[in-house]
């Protein structure tokens, strides 16, 4: 009798545990643990928006590296869509598991380091040591991933925004740079970091607050990242990155709108044949802008 009672109690406990496990698995929008023997980013694709997905990538990469996964191993899963965000996540994990030692992190990621990795170093350094700007500058002097006039200042823009989280204050910091190209790329990093923090919501309203070169750099950079950030949220056939531009072009001065040119590069990179007829539904001014963009795509983040 006691044996039957023990078996019954054990069965009830197992049933309750199984039910709780299934509830947690199905009700949580993001994975609670990350497999160490396959693509750790895969489960993150169920996230509803890019910011949530990026948070998941960060958790996944850090968990994997803490369990001994190599940078090279993780990098092989960062070649598909959202590649830049995944490399950001890997870069963050590298610096954290390196105990925030920049030189150690660089050695750990070579030769897999790319531009996004250094963006991530700047993000994490801004969170970890916001008052130690000069250490990051000295680190970048030795090894900037692209020519210093563009890449290093872009990276510092990420750092400033990560450290201070005040768009107006950080734009003013970039504006202390005399050289226009350095200023422009500093703002590019600030704009990109603001997209990470806000998921790009109501971004062009920020740009409207400025005049002169601040306004120019803000709108140009924001309009270029906008189709990259949002186009993957749309599915189906056709030129969907252009639709992202259609949605916001009323908020951007025509002369500062690079959205269509950037969207054209996205389409071209996906193997699409660019068709000027895609612009026919727009009013005359935007149609001309759209067609010019299709004829001269902006090829990468550093253009």
Per-residue DSSP letters for 87-155?
Answer: HHHHHHHHHHHTTT-HHHHHHHHTTT--HHHHHHHHHHHHHH-TT-HHHHHHHHHH--SS-TTTHHHHH
pLDDT digits (tens, 9 = 90+) for 126-144: 999 999 999 999 988 876 7
Angle 209-213-134 (CA atoms, 0-180°, nearest 5)?
Answer: 95
Task: Give the mean pLDDT of the chain.
Answer: 82
pLDDT on residue 237: 52
Nearest to 79 by CA among 34, 30, 122, 116: 116
Q: From the DSSP assignment, how many helices (H) and strands (E) are in the chain?
A: 15, 0
Q: Show pLDDT as tens, one digit a residue, over the chain (303 residues).
A: 444 444 444 444 334 343 433 333 333 334 444 444 589 998 898 887 788 888 999 999 999 999 999 999 898 888 876 788 899 999 999 999 999 999 999 998 888 778 888 999 999 999 999 999 999 999 888 767 666 567 789 999 999 999 999 999 999 999 999 999 999 999 999 999 988 888 777 789 999 999 999 999 999 999 999 888 877 654 455 577 898 899 899 999 999 999 999 999 988 888 888 999 999 999 999 999 999 999 999 876 543
User: What tokens were used for 156?
Assistant: 């510092």
Residue spans of beta strands (DSSP E) within the chain: none
Specify the long-range contacts of residues 32-36, CB closer than 8 Å, at least 24 apart.
33/63, 34/59, 34/60, 34/63, 34/64, 36/64, 36/67, 36/68, 36/69
Q: Are 199 and 51 in contact (CB under 8 A)?
A: yes
- pTM score, two decimals? 0.80
CB 93 within 8 A of CB 61: yes
Q: Which residues contact 280 (CB under 8 A, 6 or more apart)?
A: 287
Residues in the chain: 303
- What six digits make up the tokens of 196? 């990470």
């Amino acid at each position: 009798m006691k044996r039957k009672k023990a078996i019954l109690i054990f069965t009830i406990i197992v049933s309750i545990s199984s039910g709780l496990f299934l509830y947690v698995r199905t009700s949580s929008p993001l994975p609670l643990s990350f497999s160490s023997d396959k693509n750790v980013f895969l489960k993150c694709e169920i996230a509803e928006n890019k910011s949530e997905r990026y948070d998941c990538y960060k958790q996944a990469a850090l968990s994997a590296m803490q369990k001994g996964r190599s940078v090279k191993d993780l990098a092989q899963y960062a070649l598909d869509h959202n590649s830049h965000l995944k490399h950001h996540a890997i870069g963050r994990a590298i610096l954290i598991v390196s105990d925030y030692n920049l030189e150690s992190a660089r050695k750990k990621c070579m030769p897999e380091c790319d531009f996004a990795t250094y963006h991530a170093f700047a993000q994490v350094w801004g969170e970890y040591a916001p008052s130690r700007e000069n250490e990051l500058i000295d680190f970048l002097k030795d090894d900037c991933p692209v020519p210093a006039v563009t890449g290093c200042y872009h990276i510092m823009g990420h750092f400033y925004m990560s450290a201070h989280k005040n768009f107006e204050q950080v734009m003013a910091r970039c504006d202390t740079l005399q050289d226009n190209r350095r200023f422009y790329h500093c703002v590019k990093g600030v704009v990109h970091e603001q997209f990470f923090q806000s998921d790009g919501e109501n971004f062009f309203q920020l740009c409207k607050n400025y005049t002169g070169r601040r306004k120019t750099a803000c709108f140009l950079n924001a309009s270029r990242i906008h189709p990259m950030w949002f186009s993957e949220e749309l599915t189906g056939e056709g030129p969907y990155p252009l639709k992202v531009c259609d949605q916001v072009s009323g908020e951007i001065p025509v002369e500062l709108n690079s959205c269509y040119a950037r969207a054209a590069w996205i389409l071209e990179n996906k193997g699409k044949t660019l068709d000027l007829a895609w612009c026919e539904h727009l009013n005359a001014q935007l149609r001309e802008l759209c067609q010019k963009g299709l004829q001269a795509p902006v090829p990468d983040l550093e253009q």
